[in-house]
Every structure is written in structure tokens, then in C-alpha cells.
Amino acid sequence: EDQVTQSPEALRLQEGESSSLNCSYTVSGLRGLFWYRQDPGKGPEFLFTLYSAGEEKEKERLKATLTKKESFLHITAPKPEDSATYLCAVRAFSSGSARQLTFGSGTQLTVLP
Amino acid sequence: DAGVTQSPTHLIKTRGQQVTLRCSPKSGHDTVSWYQQALGQGPQFIFQYYEEEERQRGNFPDRFSGHQFPNYSSELNVNALLLGDSALYLCASSFSGRGNTGELFFGEGSRLTVL
């Protein structure tokens, strides 16, 4: 069974204080690892897809990296508007044509001014 | 370009009732997936519709059913509601044709409260 574990569950940072969020996964053949941002009461917003170990992607203050067992979302010099829940999800080859995602429970990030 | 739209945004039902949620996919998308997100949890896959048929189903009982229409829009139906069905129901659309990257685009969700 595919599993995704995110840590920490919650993280409070001061504005400008860089940190990383962790996503550990167990999957029978990784077809893709996805990062989403979710604001309260809203649907998840797509951030990145990573396909193979060693791959990195960046978007503004965010950088996602991937190893064979985990992914990190690095946040550099965060701002209060980066406050949100960050969700990690995996897609396995076993998901077939449906390509459904298995999500972790998320990390709730709060950036204080 | 309209994104994924869902209706209603909020609704309240009582145990035993039935509910229908609706979703219009992003323009150009032909596949609709439904996810259930309980408070404080990540979304869980319910099922996916493609070419008006259920292509795959997650670990949800038969009380959960769906439909896809020729214009690619979709409905999620839940019968005999239980308190535990209270959640945010998310619709996600994607394109299944050649060149697709597999990214899912989510709607804002329908918040269902069962009393």
C-alpha cells in the first residue's frame, strides 16, 4: 500500500527564517511526486511535479527536491503570504490509467511578520 | 479561462439523506476525479471518470456513486449519509490524451456537513 508521511505537522517561522518541510514516501514504483499548496477552505493549488531522484524544481521562494525515499520543500526567506498547508502526494505505476494521487496529511505553515 | 468549478460551496444535510455535488472541469480537460478531505487530513481518492465511465475507484462504499456527462462535467452522489461523511469534497480535472503531464487541477470544493 502506498504511504506518504509529512513532517512536521505544523511549523511556525518568523518572516525571513528559512526552513524545510519533509515528505517521506513508500510506493511500489514512483510515477511522480507532487507538491500542492492549500489555503483554508480552498482547493489544493499545484506547485511542482518531480519524477526522478536528484530532480529539483524552483518557484519564487520555494524549491522542491527528490530522493529515492523522500522529498523536501525548502522555503527561503518566507513571507506571511506563504502561510498555508503544504500537501505532498505520490502517484504510483500501480495506479494504472487513473493515475490517482495518494496524499499525506500536510504541513501547516505559519509565517509571522 | 475558467478553472474547475464546483457547486454548491456549502451544504448541510441530516443523517440518512442523499446529496448530489457537481463539477465542471477546466477547459480542455476530459477527466474528472473526486476526492474527500476530512478536517486536518489530506485528500482521499474516491473515483475517477473518463469517457463517461468510472475508470477507477478508491476504498469507498457503494453509497458513493458518480456520473460524467458528454460535456465532461460530473456529479458525485452520496446516499444514506453518515456523520462521518462530513468533509470537503474536491473535484480535480485533468487531460488524459497524448502529451498529458498528469497534473490535477482542483476546484474550491464543496463543504458537506452532516448533522
Among A48-62, A90-104, B40-54, the least confident range = A90-104
Q: Supply the pLDDT for residue A97.
A: 65
Residue B76 C-alpha cell reads as: 458525485
pLDDT at B103: 84
Total domain count, chain B:
1
pLDDT tens string A73-93: 999 999 999 999 999 999 988
> A46–B109: do the CB atoms touch at under 8 Å?
no
* Interface with A, mutate which of B41, B104, B110 (most A CBs under 10 A): B104
Looking at residue A41, what is its pLDDT? 87
B52-96 pLDDT tens trace: 999 999 999 999 999 999 999 999 999 999 999 999 999 999 988
DSSP class of residue A52 equals S
Find where cell 504541513 sits. Answer: A107
Q: Can you spell out the DSSP letters for B10-78?
A: EEEE-TT--EEEEEEPPTT--EEEEEEE-TTS--EEEEEEETTEEEEE-S--TTEEEEE-TTS-EEEEE
Q: Which of B55, B94, B102 sits opposite A32 (nearest CB)?
A: B102
pLDDT at B18: 98
- Of residues A64, A62, A69, the one with CA closest to residue A84: A62
CA distance A45 to B23: 17
SS3 A93: helix
* Choice between A97 and A66, residue whose per-residue pLDDT is larger: A66
Query: At B24, which CATH number?
Result: 2.60.40.10
| Domains in chain A: ranges and CATH | 3-94 (2.60.40.10)
Which bin fits A60, alpha (ψ -120 to 50), beta or left (φ > 0)?
A: left
Query: Does residue A40 have a cis bond before it (omega within 30 degrees)?
Result: no
The total number of residues shown for chain B amounts to: 115
Secondary structure letter of residue A30 according to DSSP:
E
A4:B42 CB<8 A: yes
Domain containing B80: what range?
A: 5-114
Q: Which of A58-67, A88-97, B93-102 has the lowest mean pLDDT?
A: B93-102
| Cβ distance of B43 and A96 shorter than 8 Å | no
CA–chain centroid gap for A58, Å, is 12
What integer pLDDT is reported at residue B1 of this predicted model? 62
Q: Which of residues 51-110 of A touch B (CB under 8 A)?
A: 87, 89, 91, 95-106
Closest CA relative to residue A28, chosen from A94, A109, A75: A94
CB contact under 8 A, A46 and B103: yes
Cross-chain Cβ contact B107/A91 below 8 Å: no
Q: How far is CA B93 from the centre of its chain?
A: 9
Q: Lowest-pLDDT range, A63-67, B84-88, B100-104?
A: B100-104
